[in-house]
Amino acid sequence: MNKFIFIIFSVNFFIGANLHAEEIVTTNFSANVEEYDLYENSPRQAFSQPFIDIAKACTSAVVFIRAEGGEPEGSPPFDFFNDDFFNHFFGGPRIRPFQPQVSQGSGFLISEEGHIMTNLHVVKGAKNLTVKLQDETDRQFTATYVGGDSYTDIAILKIENSPGEKFSFLELGNSDALEVGEWVIAIGSPFSLEASISTGIISAKGRQGLQITDYEDFIQTDAAINPGNSGGPLIDLNKKVVGMNTAIFSQSGGNMGIGFAIPSNILINTKEQIIENGFITRGFLGVSMQPIDKDLAEAFETNTTQGALIVDVVEGSPAEKGGLRQGDIIMKINESLVKNPGQLRKEILLLSPGTKVNLTINRNGKIMKIKVTLGTFGTNNLVSSATISKQFGLTIDNLTQQNMQQYKLNQDDKGVVVIKVELGTPAERGGIKPGFLVMAVNHQRVSNVMEFNSALENVTSGDRVLLLIRQGPLMKFYTLKAE
């Protein structure tokens, strides 16, 4: 009846109000049957068919995730332009600090062996992970944590399945080829409502400066995304994953048409490294940069505001060794134009350490080419590279100036500093606390995050690890059992 009334008003708007009700009904009914029948070739069916096909083909590869005993959360750490950014990363309800958390979110299968991609904030610190398929079987599996990356908020899980068992999975597409205005589909479990689908368009690309993650290059979409969608896929009309839904901008806690997804090209890079190594290595240039406005363009003798202006060069970095200087404007990396510092930073971080890049720069109005061999992000103690050790429940970071000041450490100190310890984990039970300086792992000296990760590379559940730790003037060995 409601549908019929809607059609009446629609027709009434076009044909005028001076018709009798009987005439309106008759006219509308004829138009409805003739133009909007439900046969296969109707306009309605033709428009809907791509979405129907995607729902049928892709939903079975999307999973519902339940993470128990995750990292406690309090209120969101900030207000977003004075609005409530509900559950900054949504995947579970708001709870008071220091209470055990049950987080719920979404994920999607990326291999037939049962690897699942999701947001790190959905599963971070969880002791028990359960995934439920959203196909005709509704099977539930225990999952294990393979690895995660706090800089991009990406994590990989693995279903504990029977040998030889295969799963349907989704392919990752090319997010760089996305166009603003292109149709996309979000699949997930908003508010624990499993296998929910919403549609929308790409609203914008390359969103940065949102303070959601350390490394930002978000896709913005108006496809309805709500708490619980986090970690689910954003899919194009070719049935390829072009993004992973991560956060929303909201005043009410619900969808307001502004959602953010991690581009698939970042997912691809992270997926390959985590599955192979369990952690991420990234290229490192070693410069601080700022965008160029019209006044700066004039001052630095360039006729464009595109590029990345170097404001500082890290001592001993690949940039310094390659000859880059303060005041240089990076215009190209290899043959790609550099539009802004964010784009350059993204391209550098997606390259492997040891990669040789050709940089085209503007130095005082003179165009030059400089070759630089990238270092490893995280090996320079001046650069933050916080990483989470799921096996022990602690987060460690390099000895940055900020960390040294906060934890009263010295310039001559060597090691990595503990910046967070999760409740109920081996690290907490073993007496590890924030501010502890980890100097060696199993008698192997560590001076940065990469060396710490490498020392734990072959550690499996049940193994014991010996840590040499300094707290203030005291040094002590701690032994922890990996979970």
Question: Strands 115-119, 154-159: parallel, antiparallel or unpaired by DSSP?
Answer: antiparallel
Q: In terms of Cα–Cα distance, which of 224, 194, 214, 205 is closest to 264?
A: 205
Give the integer Cα–Cα distance in Å for 258 and 51: 21
- Using the structure block, give the residue that is written with the tokens 């959203």: 134
Helix 2-15 / helix 21-35 crossing angle, nearest 10 deg: 100
Give the integer Cα–Cα distance in Å for 122 and 93: 11
Give the integer Cα–Cα distance in Å for 247 and 242: 16
Whole-angstrom CA distances from 103 to 64, 96, 381 are 11, 14, 34
Q: Which residues are catalytic?
A: 121, 153, 230
339 phi and psi angles, rounded to 5 deg = -85, -35
215 phi and psi angles, rounded to 5 deg = -120, 110
Whole-angstrom CA distances from 307 to 269, 271, 361 are 24, 30, 9
Please work out, in degrees rounded to the nearest 5, the angle formed at the alpha carbon of residue 282 by the alpha carbons of 349 and 156.
Answer: 100
Question: Strands 329-333, 356-363: parallel, antiparallel or unpaired by DSSP?
Answer: antiparallel
Give the integer Cα–Cα distance in Å for 419 and 470: 14
